[in-house]
Amino acid sequence: MTNDDDQTNGPRRGRGPRSVETVYMEERAAVMQALPRLSRRGFMKVSLGAMGAAAAAGVTINPHSFQPIRFVPGARAAEPGAAAGDVGGGGFRIAYISDSHLYKKELNDRFVRSLLRAVDDVNAMDPQPDFVLYGGDLAQLGQPEELDLGAEILKSVKAPLHVMVGEHDWYFDMGERWRRHFGDDNYSFDHKGVHFVVINSVVEKDFWTARGMSPMERMKTVAGLDNGKQSSFTVGDANRAWLAGDLAKVDKGTPLVVFSHSPLYKLYKNWNFWTDDADEVQALLRPFKTVTVIHGHTHQVLTNRIGNISFHGMLSTAWPWPYAPEGLPEMTIQMNRPDPFNPEDGCGDGSVIVHPDGLVDKVYGLWNRNPMTVSAKYMTSGGEADRPKVPNAKSY
Amino acid sequence: MPAGVAIDTGVAKSIASTLMAKWQAEHPDVDWEADERASRTFVPAHDNSDLIGEATQAEGHTYRNVTELDTLLWKRETEKAVVAGSRVFHSGDELGSTIAVSCDMCHPNAANTHPETYPKYQTQLGRVALLRDMINWCLVHPVRAEALSADDPKMRALEAYIISQRAGKTLAYGKH
Ligand SMILES: [Fe+2]
Ligand SMILES: [Fe+2]
């Protein structure tokens, strides 16, 4: 089982250095493996045995209730290489990792291990992606040691890496440490005929000075998704001016892919699933023939289409967010509600297949589940064709 | 009240004051309630002002002679318990997390906590669970803290906040 969580912290259950999650997942695995081989009577025996072990460990579980995850064997390993065929002449693939929310590892090594898992995923892709995008929120509280740790881990990504900033990286020192590691927060580059833009969309107007907040108080305020003291995300005048200038140099027929941390539309203001100047930003993108926005921050499968612009979210490696209680775009096919009994469920990484025409397939590499693809065909048909499978556990 | 039953002042003490006394001693200059109210979104407690006034049927009785003061007191105290719960819900320290994780990280505005679905058979626990059982499960597992006893002021406060955030949802016990 890959789920050996946290060797150093947390309650122990009298079984050496293994964590509650480790013990729990081992028991769950043992039961699941045993299931197919058993008659009903044998099954009851195993169940009771496992329950006894669990009870001794102080955890109450009922093994017969474990719902095995239907997982296409080898799907994850095969996925990157297998789909390369789909890419066709001139198409290419990029990979993404996002929202790792690292604390220093002495405090929380679960999040560190999840980022490592994502890096392994991406490094195992065959063929390798043309580049890897890191989608922001590398750190949890913008601490220098958190960003240093993240930067160090990301050094082991084999393919070229582009990093985007998230609010958790920024609001302790207003991006100073982040920029020292990763350079400008707005930049663009061309790759195989596609114009890529990375833009800082987490600019909040000053809510801290008047309240006399320390840098840490400011950071913690922004770090709370449902903290209403903060302002809304914007790209802001300065970054928008930069974007306008950058795009002015690009032919309108050139496929455009924009990476932003927040979704560049208005979904749910209370959680900053929102960009306040989204209308102005979209106006800059609209003249282009083919536009895709790939964003972080929402930690879930999230799909939207506004005019000719396709929007795709990225998964987090740390935890999944619930869906917003209102405003969910019609194009979004939800991912299944995550299993709270597995800290990596609902998390993952993924890739983006860019077709020769600049349209993209967005692949959500959900850990522990089959990957979910939101294809260009689904997007351009307005959700008519190539619909991803609908989950049975929708949010409510 | 039946004869011989005294109000237990220990139990009657509000969730909020029990919980906040220590914190307030350490932060004498902060109004914790105002601070928490400014930081989060709350659902107001039910407004009972329609009960105020001449209670003809209750004439001569004290019970159900509702004054504005009564309704204000109810609302204030109830919301205070909820706001105290919000503080706990949003604080890894208050929860005793050993890995600096708080409930709001995965449940902003208590989303996906579904208090209206309890009691229900929690498949993974293999038994019928109450809301507090699942609060405790999340405390021990994702949050890495110690479980709370059912009458712990923090548990009571967490329940208060979680339920308040889901106000208006239809009770659907047993729903998955
Ligand atoms: Fe994030
Ligand atoms: Fe974010």
| Ligand 1 centroid distance, CA of A99 (Å) | 4
Q: Can you name the residues that pair with B52 across neighbouring β-strands?
A: B66
| CA gap A313, A293 in Å, rounded | 9
Terminal alpha carbon distance of chain A: 31
Q: Which of A107, A225, A396 sits opposite B99 (nearest CB)?
A: A107
- Give the position of tokens 């929102």: A274
| CA gap A146, A138 in Å, rounded | 8
Assign A30 a pLDDT band (cuts: 50, 70, 90): low
- On chain B, the residues whose CB falls within 8 A of the CB of A224 are 39, 90, 104
| CA gap B86, A373 in Å, rounded | 37
| CA gap B112, B135 in Å, rounded | 12
| CA gap B121, A192 in Å, rounded | 54
Terminal alpha carbon distance of chain B: 40
Q: Looking at residue A13, what is its pLDDT?
A: 43
Q: Tell me the backbone φ, ψ of residue A304, rounded to 5 degrees.
A: -145, 155
| Ligand 2 centroid distance, CA of A168 (Å) | 6
Report in angstroms the alpha-carbon separations of B161 from A71, B83, B92.
37, 7, 16
Contact B108 A337 (CB under 8 A): no
Q: How far does the CA of residue A60 sit from the closest CA of chain B (Å)? A: 6
Assign A181 a pLDDT band (cuts: 50, 70, 90): very high
Contact A107 B100 (CB under 8 A): yes
Among A80-94, A291-305, A339-353, B124-138, name the one with the lowest average pLDDT: A80-94
Local structure of residue A96 (DSSP, 8 states): E
| CA gap A154, A152 in Å, rounded | 5
**pTM for the whole structure:** 0.84
Residues of A with CB under 8 A from a CB of B: 6, 9-11, 20-21, 24, 51, 60-67, 103, 107-108, 110, 140, 221, 224-229, 270-271, 319-323, 325, 337, 339-341, 343, 393, 395-396
Among A39-48, B48-57, B130-139, name the one with the lowest average pLDDT: A39-48
Q: Looking at residue A49, what is its pLDDT?
A: 42
Q: Looking at residue A18, what is its pLDDT?
A: 62
Contact B124 A229 (CB under 8 A): no
| Ligand 2 centroid distance, CA of A225 (Å) | 8
Q: Looking at residue A24, what is its pLDDT?
A: 61
Average pLDDT, chain B: 87
Q: Is cis: bond before B119, omega within 30 of 0?
A: yes
Q: Looking at residue B105, what is its pLDDT?
A: 95
| CA gap A152, A148 in Å, rounded | 6
Q: Which of B101, B127, B141 sits opposite A21 (nearest CB)?
A: B141
| CA gap A243, B139 in Å, rounded | 44
| CATH class of the domain comprising B45-164 | mainly alpha
Mean pLDDT confidence for B109-136: 94
Q: Which of B126, B140, B145 sits opposite A61 (nearest CB)?
A: B126
Q: Looking at residue A393, what is its pLDDT?
A: 83
Domains of chain B by residue range: 45-164
| b/e map B115-136, b = 16+ CB within 10 Å | bbbbebebbbbbeebebbbbbb
Q: Looking at residue A253, what is its pLDDT?
A: 97
CA angle B138, B139, B142 (to 5 degrees): 60
How many interchain CB pairs under 8 A, A with B? 102
Q: Name all domains of chain A by residue range, CATH numbers in brackets.
A: 92-380 (3.60.21.10)
Query: How many other C-beta atoms lie within 10 A of the C-beta of residue A17?
Result: 10
Task: State how far Cα A91 lies from the chain centre.
Answer: 23
| CA gap A120, A132 in Å, rounded | 12
- Of residues B12, B1, B154, the one with CA closest to residue B86: B154
Q: Is the pLDDT confidence value at A99 over 50?
A: yes
Q: Is the pLDDT confidence value at A140 over 70?
A: yes
Q: Looking at residue A340, what is its pLDDT?
A: 86
| CA gap A80, A158 in Å, rounded | 15
Q: Is cis: bond before A391, omega within 30 of 0?
A: no
Which of residues A55 and A277 earns the better pLDDT score? A277
Q: How far does the CA of residue A160 sit from the closest CA of chain B (Å)? A: 31
Interface test with B, best of A32, A51, A226 (most B CBs within 10 A): A226
Residue B52, SS3 per DSSP: strand
Assign A76 a pLDDT band (cuts: 50, 70, 90): very low
Among A36-45, A216-225, B162-171, name the one with the lowest average pLDDT: A36-45
| Ligand 2 centroid distance, CA of A227 (Å) | 13
Helix, strand, coil fractions of chain A, as percent rounded to 5: 30, 20, 50
Among A3-17, B46-60, B91-105, B142-156, name the one with the lowest average pLDDT: A3-17
Q: Looking at residue B65, what is its pLDDT?
A: 80
Average pLDDT, chain A: 85
User: A123-128: which pairs have CB atoms within 8 A and are 24 or more residues apart?
Assistant: A123/A156, A123/A157, A123/A158, A124/A77, A124/A80, A125/A80, A125/A81, A125/A93, A125/A95, A125/A351, A126/A80, A126/A81, A127/A80, A127/A81, A127/A84, A127/A93, A128/A158, A128/A159
Contacts of residue B103, Cβ cutoff 8 Å, sequence gap at least 6: B89, B90, B95, B110, B138, B143, B158
Assign B54 a pLDDT band (cuts: 50, 70, 90): low
pLDDT in tens, A33-69: 554 444 444 434 444 444 444 344 333 333 333 333 3
Assign A112 a pLDDT band (cuts: 50, 70, 90): very high
| CA gap A149, B157 in Å, rounded | 36
Residue A188, SS3 per DSSP: strand
| b/e map A210-232, b = 16+ CB within 10 Å | eeebeeeebbbbbbbbbbebbeb
Q: Looking at residue A6, what is its pLDDT?
A: 42
Helix, strand, coil fractions of chain B, as percent rounded to 5: 50, 5, 45
